[in-house]
Structure 1
Amino acid sequence: MADPDTTEIMVNGYKTIYVERFGILEKTDKKFVNDRQFRVIIERIVAPLGRRIDEASPMVDGRLADGSRINAVIEPIALDGAMLTIRRFGKRLQARDLIQLGSVTQPVLTFLRAAVQARLNMVISGGTGSGKTTFLNVLSNYLPEAERIVTIEDAAELKLMQPHVVRMESRPPNLEGRGEIRIRELVRNALRMRPNRIIVGEARGAEALDMLQAMNTGHDGSLTTIHANSARDALSRIETMVLMTGLDLPIRAIREQVASAINVVIQVARLRDGSRKVVSISEVVGMEGEIVTMQEIVRYQQHGIDLDGKVIGEYQFTGVQPNCLKRFEEVGVAYDVRELSSLRPAESLW
């Protein structure tokens, strides 16, 4: 935990401990004395969080005082012994840090800054550990200081720097199985708090419907993240999450809500060399028949791997004129599309 370069700690039974550094998993030579000692450590970690872990409740999630996220699983669910996963959050990365790391380029960030300032509704999509929350934190730097921003999270990870930020966190059931407060309830409550913008740390369930309705009823400029492998998959996941409400909504009605609510989907990914990058920016442009239509604006094109195992690639502009340029002009956001044109033109797919 003292190593600032360690971003994830994974304990698979008392004898096996892995850590992630710079996006690469490494097995360490550390271990606990025995399973009993390991179980005592887990109990000491979760007890101050007001949680319990035993045979009746063998899984637990929580947030440590330093903001790190923990997940613990014990027998009988864990077949080979108790398991503990700790995701650590180091210093808050800034836009310049992502540029230095090669996670994004300045022309791409300039476009996204204009999109945030023009109050476009944006979804950051990616797999586990791909850097969704980190990138959401960076985009939050472009939010105006004069706005009232409400953040809603399952485990508080966002670190907004604006002065008028209201933070809410969901709550699991207590030891008696009562008192649970879900993300969906917090989204509904946020609408009564006079927000200028709503930021949901991660949409993963029925709250997606309330988020779409908020985006479609004047709360534009909202941001959220979602687990998905592509921009198209992100929209499909949102559609699936809306169906989780149990309401008998027609698929076309859901897709119309998605098409009118979401403006931009940013896809992030962790590549083979462990690096995290923005790999695609797509714009939702409307409906054609029963299908939500999108157009890709920027993509990261991989060309191979160098001798050091690093991914070789470059950002490319697809040449598509973003529809949101009209929105930029309407709200007075200065943006020159020649910024994107400075990127290499994308290769034809045909």
Structure 2
Amino acid sequence: MSLLKRIQEVEPINEQEKKEGEATAQVSSESTQDIMKAFRDVRKTEAPKDKAKKSMDKHQQLKNLLHKQILSEVKEDTDIEEILPKIDSMSIEIIKEDENFRGGVDRKKVVNELINDLTGFGPINPLLIDEEVTEVMVNGPNQVYCERNGRLEMTAIQFRDDEHVMSVIEKIVAPIGRRIDESSPMVDARLPDGSRVNAIIPPLALGGPTVTIRKFAKDPFTIQNLIEFGTLNDEMAEFLDACVKARLNIFVSGGTGSGKTTTLNVLSNFIPDDERIVTIEDAAELQLGQEHVISLESRPPNIEGKGAVTIRDLVRNSLRMRPDRVVIGEVRGAEALDMLQAMNTGHDGSLATGHSNGPREMIARLETMVLLAGVELPVKAIREQIAGAIDVIIQQSRLKDGSRKIVSITEVQGLEGEVIVLQDIFKYKQTGKDEDGNIHGRLAPTGVRPKFYEQLENAGIRMGPNVFIEQEWQV
């Protein structure tokens, strides 16, 4: 019997079975597939041309036949790696037996797509493997963008339909105990390599299931990498190394996609190896090189709305874990109060990030987040907490040319009256733009020596005062 006939006999279908299948599908109206089907029927889409549709039908038919053959050969104890080398020969045999597949079907493309579905994350797998791609954005099944060298570009990648995108999302979120369905249509997750994933599905996403993946480098970036990228310079690297080792409390501030988490990860690696580090994140991303690291990850509520563990819960718990350093991936709510109290009560050297457009705005946002804790504190008391807790704010931005730069390093000097005094120690100065639109500039000292300079010296760190004078940098 030919391979094609064996495949076709794997799932015989008669009229009775067909009717039973249709009845079963109608009953399971609450399933994710039915939700996506209803959404797809309502959405208005432009019908593809007949010729392209026929080509796609052949493409999908060949893929379906191959998939059935694989399922028929895979047993409970069979490793998928044993099947992969056979897929190409299977496709050749099917095409030999059915002349309909001999024209208009790219066999290699079918085989590659099937392998990506089986071993990776479907059509976007090549983008996740490509080291030049830093972000992948799936806007429904027919539109996939990626960020390469800081610039967005449209790709030729497409999913089969909404269900195909949903299957990839499920493959991402299931291993880490997250879920996504009609009752919980948004999810934050991560890939095995630490890359951050956000997914949102209909009815909230009108264009179809939407996935945003912020990739992490296979090997974590070092401070030398940031210098090469132009994010900062050698003098800044030396200064930030000193700040971390002197146990200053540092806050990395910036907009979405500005590189805050990457900078936080690099700063964390300045922490000495003999210290106990507790990291707290929504989705674990930090890749620290030290041996003594405890990673904590928040948990969303279950289907009954119970069992949630928030960042605030984890911050409170971390203080009972005898940490030398507490590293918070992102402060965005009531946990700000617990973080500030920890910084003010002996947990020096803590690191955190937050969203803002500048150091002054970051201070204002922290005030607002403390109020979210539900504790009625006067504004002056909140500002005293902030001024006493945070020593340095590193502001990071993504410039118009797509490059990510540290644009200021600011000292929190204290409270005067009811105003928190901030002083820029280093500030980014733009010097021009080339023909390709690339921005040129440098992070230069403002000439002000920070008040915590003595703290650096007390920690045994010697930095010449010339570091804070721009003229000394001139060559």
TM-score (normalised: structure 1):
0.95
Residue 211 of structure 1 deviates from its aligned partner by 0.5
- In structure 2, what is the equivalent of residue 86 of structure 1? 213
CA deviation map 1:253-285 (0-9, x unaligned): 000100011000000111111111111000001
Q: Does 1:248 align with 2:379?
A: no
- In structure 2, what is the equivalent of residue 285 of structure 1? 413
- Decide which of 243, 253, 275 is 1:125's aligned counterpart: 253
In structure 2, C-alpha distance between the alignment counterparts of 1:17 and 1:27, rounded to whole Å: 6
In structure 2, C-alpha distance between the alignment counterparts of 1:119 and 1:233, rounded to whole Å: 24
Q: Does 1:33 align with 2:160?
A: yes
- Are 1:32 and 1:38, in contact at CA under 8 Å, matched by a contact in 2? yes
Paired residue secondary structure (2:197):
strand
- Decide which of 289, 292, 298 is 1:161's aligned counterpart: 289
Residue 343 of structure 1 deviates from its aligned partner by 6.0
In structure 2, C-alpha distance between the alignment counterparts of 1:39 and 1:143, rounded to whole Å: 40
Q: Does 1:58 align with 2:179?
A: no
Q: Which amino acid aligns with 2:204?
A: I
CA deviation map 1:58-89 (0-9, x unaligned): 11111222212211111111122221111110
- In structure 2, what is the equivalent of residue 339 of structure 1? 467
CA deviation map 1:136-175 (0-9, x unaligned): 1111222111111111111111111122111111111223
- In structure 1, what is the equivalent of residue 342 of structure 2? 214
- Are 1:10 and 1:19, in contact at CA under 8 Å, matched by a contact in 2? yes
Q: Cα–Cα, structure 1 residues 42 and 140, in superposed 2: closer, same or farther, change >3 Å? A: closer
Mapping for residues 142-153 of structure 1, pairs under 5 Å:
142-153=270-281
- Are 1:317 and 1:344, in contact at CA under 8 Å, matched by a contact in 2? no
- Decide which of 424, 434, 456 is 1:328's aligned counterpart: 456
Query: Can you give the 5+ residue segments of structure 1 that lack an aligned partner in the other structure?
Result: 346-350
Q: Cα–Cα, structure 1 residues 342 and 318, in superposed 2: closer, same or farther, change >3 Å? A: closer
- In structure 2, what is the equivalent of residue 224 of structure 1? 352
Residue 290 of structure 1 deviates from its aligned partner by 1.1
| Percent of matched pairs sharing the same residue | 56
- In structure 2, what is the equivalent of residue 191 of structure 1? 319
Q: Does 1:11 align with 2:138?
A: yes
- In structure 2, what is the equivalent of residue 348 of structure 1? none
In structure 1, C-alpha distance between the alignment counterparts of 2:176 and 2:319, rounded to whole Å: 29
In structure 2, C-alpha distance between the alignment counterparts of 1:220 and 1:306, rounded to whole Å: 43
- In structure 2, what is the equivalent of residue 101 of structure 1? 229
Q: Cα–Cα, structure 1 residues 93 and 267, in superposed 2: closer, same or farther, change >3 Å? A: same
In structure 2, C-alpha distance between the alignment counterparts of 1:108 and 1:204, rounded to whole Å: 27
- In structure 1, what is the equivalent of residue 79 of structure 2? none
In structure 2, C-alpha distance between the alignment counterparts of 1:190 and 1:39, rounded to whole Å: 35
Q: Which amino acid aligns with 2:179?
A: R
- Are 2:253 and 2:393, in contact at CA under 8 Å, matched by a contact in 1? yes
- In structure 2, what is the equivalent of residue 139 of structure 1? 267
- Are 2:446 and 2:469, in contact at CA under 8 Å, matched by a contact in 1? no
- In structure 2, what is the equivalent of residue 177 of structure 1? 305
Paired residue secondary structure (2:353):
strand
Q: Cα–Cα, structure 1 residues 112 and 45, in superposed 2: closer, same or farther, change >3 Å? A: closer
Paired residue secondary structure (1:208):
helix
Query: Can you give the 5+ residue segments of structure 2 that lack an aligned partner in the other structure?
Result: 1-127
Q: Does 1:298 align with 2:426?
A: yes
CA deviation map 1:197-256 (0-9, x unaligned): 111111111111001000000111111011111011111111111010011111110001
- Are 1:12 and 1:83, in contact at CA under 8 Å, matched by a contact in 2? yes
TM-score (normalised: structure 2):
0.70
Flag the structure with higher strand content: 1
In structure 2, C-alpha distance between the alignment counterparts of 1:305 and 1:206, rounded to whole Å: 41
Once the two structures are overlaid, the 10-residue window that deviates more, 122-131 or 31-40, is 31-40
- In structure 2, what is the equivalent of residue 76 of structure 1? 203
In structure 1, C-alpha distance between the alignment counterparts of 2:195 and 2:433, rounded to whole Å: 33
Paired residue secondary structure (2:207):
coil
In structure 1, C-alpha distance between the alignment counterparts of 2:165 and 2:270, rounded to whole Å: 44
Q: Which amino acid aligns with 1:76?
A: P
Flag the structure with higher helix content: 2
